[in-house]
Amino acid sequence: MDSTKIPRTVPIQSATFSNPINAEIRRAAATGIYDIRGGGAKRRVPHFDDLLFLGASVSRYPLEGYREKCETKVTLGTRFAKKPIELDIPITIAGMSFGALSGPAKEALGRGASAAGTSTTTGDGGMTPEERGHSTKLVYQYLPSRYGMNPDDLRKADAIEVVVGQGAKPGGGGMLLGQKISDRVAHMRCLPKGIDQRSACRHPDWTGPDDLEIKILELREITDWQVPIYVKVGGTRPYYDTALAVKAGADVVVLDGMQGGTAATQDVFIEHVGLPTLACIRPAVQALQDLGVHREVQLVVSGGIRTGADVAKAMALGADAVAIGTAALIALGDNDPKWESEYQKLGTTTGAYDDWHEGKDPAGITTQDAELMKRVDPVDAGRRLRNYLKVMTLEAQTIARACGHNHLHNLEPEDLCALTMEAAAMARVPLAGTDWYPGKAGF
Amino acid sequence: MQTYDLEANGLRGLNSALQELNGSSNKTAWEIVNPKGSHAIAVGLNSPVDVTVKGSTGYYCAGMNQQATVRVEGSVGPGVAENMMSGTVIVEGDASQYAGATGQGGLLVIKGNASSRCGISMKGIDIVVHGNIGHMCAFMGQAGNLVVLGDAGDALGDSCYEARFFVRGSVKSLGADCIEKEMRPEHIEILKDLLARAGADAKPEEFKRYGSARKLYNFDVDNAQAY
């Protein structure tokens, strides 16, 4: 038989040993070190896209878009604080450090958030005057590293967020590599310039929820019980972590799912530790309801929030507000196609750039390089962020009106259905076209 | 001398009164009675006031202190002088774990013993312990001085940065990247000053100095066994 006429099999690449996996094996073999990167999980996990809203028809009565009001205001910290935070929109900016981000980027976050009537959050490394100056409402993170921590800044804050965990790396610490340690960053952190700066994975002076309760008391005593105390946890055991944060005295629980970003950590950590954001919300809300404090202790959800639909879905599942990090950076200009040629020089492409720890960000956002950071115009970038926040809010309002609600807080699980069994189980909303979800009693 | 009965008048009243002192008040000396192990006593002070606590305290006594001198005539619970910025805190008795944690400045004197993790993540504070200290002290210590007249427990200075450790007695073990270092004249001077300020009856020459070998300052996979 003519061998040229024998049909040939089509080469099939292994789903297990895919090209990206094989490339990583070769990279690891060549360097002897795991991959470190920024950003959040890139793998596909059940997400808000797997839910749909059930707009109103006969059994529900919709509100008129562009005519009937749909409120968006949210108040955080009503449990113990004398001065709760009042925000115009239920979308806040998540904690990102000066050091990981450039000064102009932090300023732009402050400008954009303030123009949209919401808050920003500091990060590992302390509070900068630019950040405080441009943020109408600023949440001060109290982190395990305590870099730059001081009581004067603590008292300048509108809220304090005790960071226990982070969605991208629950249980893990951070590493700001030496190439991003400028003189200013080194000074703020009490460490020599150019060395790797490790952020601890746990607070050095408490060892559990009972200690946390006393730590919160100390922070309240130092700040005269004025401002709300948030407790931020990475999404892993949301029911118990939420319950214990409430027990410790939190005014607000911030719950960060595995799609949440980070400045830099191991890729294997980002992709393989933690729960999808979607899976975190209902157990946390359940904990608040079981303790009788749902809406009294507010729940802020973060980790992969991108659109007004995501906002509305998180709130329908029981969140009081959401926080955005990666999305805010993209709004500022991170991974913008206009820098494509420079991304390619770094061996990557627009949309995939995540080597934030190297300090070479062409967009000037995740860097301390004086020349690169000039590319961020804080006024223009702030305007873009403001626009983006406004758009997300308008989108969420549109959905809420269609579901018949005059406040985003009135969205509820009954407004939702799920496209997949996984999403139905995680969100505890019925599979589309049925009244059933996995685990529902009676089935 | 202002006397405040903590049991009768409550913690909030005490801290409010002390925090409102702005340096121009003539109420510069305070005595706190009946502390009975309460937490967060005299936290967040920011004026050159003298506070004496007549008895033992709970967690975080004198936390985030600035300028004030706080003396505890008893023992203290965990986290005394946590994140202190400046001023002086003196403990006549013993201190529980993580004394002086993350302290950025000032002087903490413990006349008894300190438990584990004393000076953990210290960032510029000076700590003088007249007695012994426990394990994992000064873990990730960044800056400042830890002086121990007695013995140190396991893993002293593990993963430390630029903090200095002076120990007169024995050290059970040193942590990762912590080594014994030469005691140079400038270190004798530093130590002489600290001992004098802490009222410690010891000679600088009796101490050994420890600090970072600086081999773990930048990640190197060949050091992976150290992590």
| Contact residues, chain A to chain B, C-beta under 8 Å | 31-33, 145-146, 149-152, 154, 175, 177-178, 189-192, 194-196, 198, 200, 204-206, 211, 214-215, 217-218, 221-225
Report the candidate in B119, B123, B120 with the shortest Cα–Cα distance to residue B148: B119
What pLDDT, on a 0 to 100 scale, did the predictor assign at position A184?
A: 81
Q: How far apart are CA B116 and CA A62, in angstroms?
A: 62
Q: How far apart are CA B61 and CA B203, in angstroms?
A: 30
What pLDDT, on a 0 to 100 scale, did the predictor assign at position A191?
A: 84
3-state secondary structure of A300: strand
3-state secondary structure of B146: strand
Q: Do B44 and A151 touch (CB under 8 A)?
A: yes
Q: Do B120 and A205 touch (CB under 8 A)?
A: yes
Task: Supply the DSSP symbol for A231.
Answer: E
Q: Residue-wise over A324-358: b if at least 16 C-beta within 10 A, else e?
A: bbbbbbbbbbbbbeebbebbeeeebebeebbbbbb
Q: How far apart are CA A400 and CA A416, in angstroms?
A: 11
ipTM score: 0.95
What pLDDT, on a 0 to 100 scale, did the predictor assign at position B226?
A: 65
Listed as ranges, residues in chain A with pLDDT below 50 are none
Q: How far apart are CA A152 and CA B114, in angstroms?
A: 28
The per-residue pLDDT for range A136-170, each reduced to its tens digit, is 999 999 999 999 999 999 999 999 999 999 999 99
What pLDDT, on a 0 to 100 scale, did the predictor assign at position A56?
A: 95
Task: Supply the DSSP symbol for B224.
Answer: G
Question: Which residues of chain A neighbour B114 with C-beta distances below 8 Å?
Answer: none
User: Which residues make beta-bridge pairs with B221?
Assistant: none
The residue of chain A nearest to residue B217, with distances taken between CA atoms, is A195
Q: Do A191 and B162 touch (CB under 8 A)?
A: yes
Q: Distance (Å) from the C-alpha of residue A186 to the closest C-alpha of chain B?
A: 11
Angle formed at CA B200 by CA B196 and CA B201, multiple of 5 degrees: 105
A-proximal residues of B, 32-61, CB under 8 Å: 39-40, 43-44, 46, 58-60
Q: How far apart are CA B137 and CA A303, in angstroms?
A: 36
pLDDT tens, residue order, chain B (227 aa): 899 999 999 999 999 999 999 777 788 899 999 999 999 999 999 999 999 999 999 999 999 999 999 999 999 999 999 999 999 999 999 999 999 999 999 999 999 999 999 999 999 999 999 999 999 999 999 999 999 999 999 999 999 999 999 999 999 999 999 999 999 999 999 999 999 999 999 999 999 999 999 998 877 777 766 66
Asked whether A131 and A400 are in contact (CB, 8 A), the reply is: no
Question: Which residues of chain B neighbour A31 with C-beta distances below 8 Å?
Answer: 221
Q: How far apart are CA A318 and CA A289, in angstroms?
A: 10
Report the candidate in A387, A238, A411 with the shortest Cα–Cα distance to residue A315: A411
Q: Do B16 and A224 touch (CB under 8 A)?
A: yes
- Angle formed by the axes of helices A308-316 and A378-402, to 10°? 50
Chain pair A-B, CB pairs under 8 angstroms: 110
Question: Which residues of chain B neighbour A211 with C-beta distances below 8 Å?
Answer: 59, 78
Q: How far is CA A170 from CA A199, A262, A265, B62, in A?
A: 13, 11, 11, 31
Report the candidate in B151, B208, B145 with the shortest Cα–Cα distance to residue B179: B208
Q: How far apart are CA A169 and CA A172, in angstroms?
A: 5
Report the candidate in A165, A90, A74, A52 with the shortest Cα–Cα distance to residue A427: A52
Please state, for a pLDDT cut of 90, what percent of chain B lies above it: 90
Give residue B119's region: left, alpha or beta (phi > 0; psi -120 to 50). left
Residues 6+ apart with CB under 8 A from A382: A107, A108, A109, A110, A111, A112, A115, A134
The type of residue at A96 is M
Asked whether A366 and A101 are in contact (CB, 8 A), the reply is: yes
Residue appearing with tokens 């004798």: B188
Question: Which residues of chain A neighbour B15 with C-beta distances below 8 Å?
Answer: 221-222
Residues 6+ apart with CB under 8 A from A277: A47, A48, A167, A235, A256, A257, A258, A259, A260, A301, A302, A303, A304, A305, A314
Residues 6+ apart with CB under 8 A from A187: none
Output the six-digit token pair for A393: 């809010």
Asked whether A325 and A261 are in contact (CB, 8 A), the reply is: yes
The residue of chain A nearest to residue B14, with distances taken between CA atoms, is A221
The type of residue at A34 is Y
What pLDDT, on a 0 to 100 scale, did the predictor assign at position A380?
A: 98
What pLDDT, on a 0 to 100 scale, did the predictor assign at position B227?
A: 62
